[in-house]
Amino acid sequence: MLLSGIRLGYTEFYVFTDDHRMTCSVLDFDTILLDMDGTLLDLYFDDQFWNKRVPDAVARQRDMTIDEARNLVFSALESAQGTLLWYDFEHWSEQFNLNLDALQRTQSKLIRPRVGTENFLKWLCKQDKQVILATNAHPKVLTFKLSVIEQQLPAFEHYFSKIVSSSDLGHPKEAADFWHALCHQLQIGPQRAILVDDNPHVLAAARRYGIGGQIAINQPNSHLAPQIVPNFDNVCFLDELITESIHDH
């Protein structure tokens, strides 16, 4: 975890004090639950989309200043934070009267796997684990992102035995009901599962429910400095989780 920023060419070094040792390995678990945005993929796309592209479009359409549009968008989003509505692409398309699907396609170049994602998935698929992508992304966003990522990593979807959108389970990952429904439907033993995610609220919900392990990603957006996520094991890049196993010999 030391000097994690170097690999993206940062001019500054981000040095973490080495007082935070990993308490578990993904190899200790049977099921590996991986978040998408900010964990497998760079959150830069989402941050740019919601913080810039959407307010810009609202400002143009309603003849507002950017600041006014930002206030409108952010307060609307804030009122739904942590709920399934926050992730509901169709709801926000209606609410802001924008074609968000068309808008997201204009910046598809920003949809990229994070550094370390491919190496980690290649390694993980050799470990005889159940690997599940569990995301809060709305199915429309999920489908779009998978189609973009497939052009960069053709094997991406094949690394997962299942790809789940919380929208299909009727609860966001911040809610215990999501974890209950996921474990029930996929016959997952919660204690035998580990979650890797960048959202501390989601990690806390998984822990409260009884998911056996949690690992936080501390640099979800490659354009922002890493920030330690307190109370959880932290990594910057997924390939930091690669450890030697009996299968490597």
| Position closest to Mg ion via CB | 38
Q: Does position 37 bind Mg ion by CB under 5 A?
A: yes
Distance CA 245, CA 235 (A): 19
Distance CA 24, CA 28 (A): 7
Instruction: List, as one string, the DSSP characters of 12-59.
Output: S--PPPS-------GGG-SEEEE-TBTTTB-THHHHHIIIIIHHHHHH
By beta-carbon proximity to Mg ion, the closer residue of 42 and 239 is 42
Distance CA 181, CA 50 (A): 29
Q: Which residue's entry shows tokens 């890493």? A: 226
Window contacting Mg ion (CB under 5 A); options: 29-37, 85-93, 154-162, 174-182: 29-37
By beta-carbon proximity to Mg ion, the closer residue of 59 and 202 is 202
Q: How far is the CB of 35 from Mg ion (least distance, A)?
A: 4
Q: How far is the CB of 150 from Mg ion (least distance, A)?
A: 20
Q: Does position 116 bind Mg ion by CB under 5 A?
A: no
Q: How far is the CB of 117 from Mg ion (least distance, A)?
A: 13
Q: Which residue's entry shows tokens 């998984």? A: 206
The answer to whether residue 28 is catalytic is: yes
CA 118 to chain centroid: 15
What is the number of residues in the chain?
249
Site track for Mg ion across 188-207, x = CB under 5 A: ----------x---------
Q: How far is the CB of 197 from Mg ion (least distance, A)?
A: 6
- Express the helix, strand and coil content of the chain in percent, nearest 5 each: 50, 10, 40
Window contacting Mg ion (CB under 5 A); options: 37-45, 91-99, 109-117, 174-182: 37-45
Q: Which residue, 49, 43, 11, 4, is CA-closest to 220? A: 43
Q: Does position 46 bind Mg ion by CB under 5 A?
A: no
User: Exactly one of 26, 35, 237, 239 binds Mg ion (CB under 5 A); which one?
Assistant: 35
Q: How far is the CB of 247 from Mg ion (least distance, A)?
A: 28
Residue 76 corresponds to which tokens in the numbers above?
Answer: 């609307």
By beta-carbon proximity to Mg ion, the closer residue of 118 and 198 is 198
Choose the catalytic residue: 28, 67, 128, 168. 28
Q: How far is the CB of 17 from Mg ion (least distance, A)?
A: 25
By beta-carbon proximity to Mg ion, the closer residue of 35 and 42 is 35
Cα dihedral sign for 24, 28, 32, 33? Answer: negative
Total chain residues near Mg ion (CB under 5 A): 4
By beta-carbon proximity to Mg ion, the closer residue of 54 and 141 is 141
Cα dihedral sign for 77, 80, 86, 89? Answer: negative
Distance CA 17, CA 212 (A): 26
By beta-carbon proximity to Mg ion, the closer residue of 37 and 239 is 37
Instruction: Enumerate the active-site residues.
Output: 28
Q: Which residues bind Mg ion (CB under 5 A)?
A: 35, 37-38, 198
